[in-house]
Structure 1
Protein backbone atom coordinates (compact mmCIF):
# COMPACT_ATOMS: atom_id res chain seq x y z
CA UNK A 1 0.00 0.00 0.00
CA UNK A 2 1.38 3.38 -0.95
CA UNK A 3 -0.96 6.30 -0.42
CA UNK A 4 -0.52 10.00 -1.05
CA UNK A 5 -2.15 12.11 1.65
CA UNK A 6 -3.38 15.36 0.12
CA UNK A 7 -6.49 16.41 2.05
CA UNK A 8 -5.13 16.29 5.61
CA UNK A 9 -2.27 15.24 7.80
CA UNK A 10 -3.96 12.04 8.97
CA UNK A 11 -4.20 8.51 7.64
CA UNK A 12 -6.21 5.51 8.80
CA UNK A 13 -4.46 2.23 9.56
CA UNK A 14 -5.84 -1.13 10.63
CA UNK A 15 -4.81 -1.78 14.24
CA UNK A 16 -5.93 -5.41 13.94
CA UNK A 17 -3.01 -6.38 11.67
CA UNK A 18 0.72 -6.41 12.34
CA UNK A 19 2.70 -4.15 10.02
CA UNK A 20 5.22 -1.35 9.91
CA UNK A 21 4.25 1.98 8.37
CA UNK A 22 6.83 4.43 7.03
CA UNK A 23 5.85 8.03 6.31
CA UNK A 24 8.15 9.84 3.89
CA UNK A 25 7.35 13.13 2.15
CA UNK A 26 3.65 12.76 2.94
CA UNK A 27 3.40 9.23 1.53
CA UNK A 28 2.58 6.20 3.69
CA UNK A 29 4.24 2.90 2.81
CA UNK A 30 3.12 -0.29 4.54
CA UNK A 31 5.81 -2.91 5.20
CA UNK A 32 4.15 -6.30 5.59
CA UNK A 33 5.54 -8.76 8.14
CA UNK A 34 7.52 -11.85 7.14
CA UNK A 35 7.31 -15.36 8.62
CA UNK A 36 10.94 -15.25 9.72
CA UNK A 37 13.80 -12.87 9.16
CA UNK A 38 14.87 -9.36 9.88
CA UNK A 39 14.03 -5.92 8.53
CA UNK A 40 16.59 -3.13 8.87
CA UNK A 41 15.53 0.48 8.32
CA UNK A 42 18.24 2.58 6.61
CA UNK A 43 18.12 6.29 7.35
CA UNK A 44 19.73 9.13 5.42
CA UNK A 45 19.45 12.79 6.42
CA UNK A 46 16.58 12.02 8.79
CA UNK A 47 14.47 10.16 6.21
CA UNK A 48 13.98 6.45 5.55
CA UNK A 49 16.05 5.54 2.52
CA UNK A 50 15.66 1.75 2.34
CA UNK A 51 14.20 -1.27 4.07
CA UNK A 52 16.76 -4.08 3.96
CA UNK A 53 15.02 -7.47 4.32
CA UNK A 54 16.75 -10.74 5.14
CA UNK A 55 15.24 -14.17 5.54
CA UNK A 56 16.09 -16.84 8.06
CA UNK A 57 15.59 -20.48 7.09
CA UNK A 58 15.64 -23.03 9.88
CA UNK A 59 17.43 -26.30 9.13
CA UNK A 60 15.06 -29.20 9.80
CA UNK A 61 16.55 -32.05 7.77
CA UNK A 62 15.92 -30.52 4.32
CA UNK A 63 18.09 -31.94 1.56
CA UNK A 64 18.13 -28.63 -0.33
CA UNK A 65 17.36 -25.05 0.61
Structure 2
Protein backbone atom coordinates (compact mmCIF):
# COMPACT_ATOMS: atom_id res chain seq x y z
CA UNK A 1 0.00 0.00 0.00
CA UNK A 2 1.48 3.33 -1.07
CA UNK A 3 0.27 6.63 0.43
CA UNK A 4 0.49 10.20 -0.83
CA UNK A 5 -0.23 12.46 2.16
CA UNK A 6 -0.35 15.69 0.15
CA UNK A 7 -3.17 14.46 -2.10
CA UNK A 8 -4.75 12.19 0.56
CA UNK A 9 -4.64 9.22 -1.83
CA UNK A 10 -3.52 5.65 -1.43
CA UNK A 11 -2.82 2.76 -3.81
CA UNK A 12 -4.01 -0.71 -2.85
CA UNK A 13 -3.24 -4.11 -4.33
CA UNK A 14 -6.46 -5.35 -5.93
CA UNK A 15 -5.12 -8.92 -5.91
CA UNK A 16 -5.22 -9.01 -2.10
CA UNK A 17 -8.44 -9.90 -0.26
CA UNK A 18 -9.11 -7.29 2.43
CA UNK A 19 -11.61 -4.70 3.58
CA UNK A 20 -10.55 -1.07 3.82
CA UNK A 21 -12.33 1.41 6.08
CA UNK A 22 -11.68 5.12 5.74
CA UNK A 23 -12.71 7.23 8.74
CA UNK A 24 -11.76 10.86 9.27
CA UNK A 25 -9.00 10.62 6.67
CA UNK A 26 -7.43 7.52 8.23
CA UNK A 27 -7.27 4.15 6.46
CA UNK A 28 -7.77 0.90 8.38
CA UNK A 29 -7.14 -2.42 6.66
CA UNK A 30 -9.21 -5.37 7.89
CA UNK A 31 -7.51 -8.60 6.87
CA UNK A 32 -9.27 -11.84 6.02
CA UNK A 33 -9.68 -14.63 8.57
CA UNK A 34 -9.68 -18.38 7.92
CA UNK A 35 -13.23 -18.81 9.26
CA UNK A 36 -15.74 -16.55 10.96
CA UNK A 37 -17.46 -13.29 10.25
CA UNK A 38 -16.91 -9.57 10.59
CA UNK A 39 -19.88 -7.31 11.35
CA UNK A 40 -19.52 -3.58 10.68
CA UNK A 41 -21.28 -1.35 13.24
CA UNK A 42 -22.38 2.01 11.82
CA UNK A 43 -23.35 5.13 13.77
CA UNK A 44 -24.42 8.39 12.11
CA UNK A 45 -23.06 7.25 8.74
CA UNK A 46 -19.58 6.35 10.04
CA UNK A 47 -18.02 3.03 10.96
CA UNK A 48 -17.97 2.82 14.75
CA UNK A 49 -16.74 -0.75 15.36
CA UNK A 50 -15.98 -4.04 13.66
CA UNK A 51 -17.21 -7.05 15.61
CA UNK A 52 -15.10 -10.12 14.74
CA UNK A 53 -16.17 -13.65 15.57
CA UNK A 54 -14.42 -16.92 14.86
CA UNK A 55 -16.04 -20.20 13.90
CA UNK A 56 -14.44 -23.40 15.15
CA UNK A 57 -15.33 -26.66 13.44
CA UNK A 58 -15.78 -29.66 15.75
CA UNK A 59 -13.75 -32.57 14.40
CA UNK A 60 -13.48 -34.91 17.39
CA UNK A 61 -10.92 -32.90 19.33
CA UNK A 62 -10.98 -33.14 23.14
CA UNK A 63 -10.46 -29.46 23.84
CA UNK A 64 -11.12 -26.15 22.11
Work out whether the TM-score is over 0.5.
yes
Name segments (4+ residues, structure 1) moved above 6 Å.
none
How many residue pairs are counted as aligned between the two chains?
63
Higher relative contact order at CA 8 Å, sep ≥6: structure 1 or structure 2? Answer: 1
Gaps (5+ residues) in structure 2?
A: none
Q: Deviations over 1:23-63 (max 9, x none)?
A: 00011100000000000000011000000000000000110
Gaps (5+ residues) in structure 1?
A: none
> Normalised by the size of structure 1, how large is the TM-score?
0.87
> Normalised by the size of structure 2, how large is the TM-score?
0.89
- Kindly report the root-mean-square deviation, in angstroms, between the aligned alpha carbons of the 2 structures: 1.8
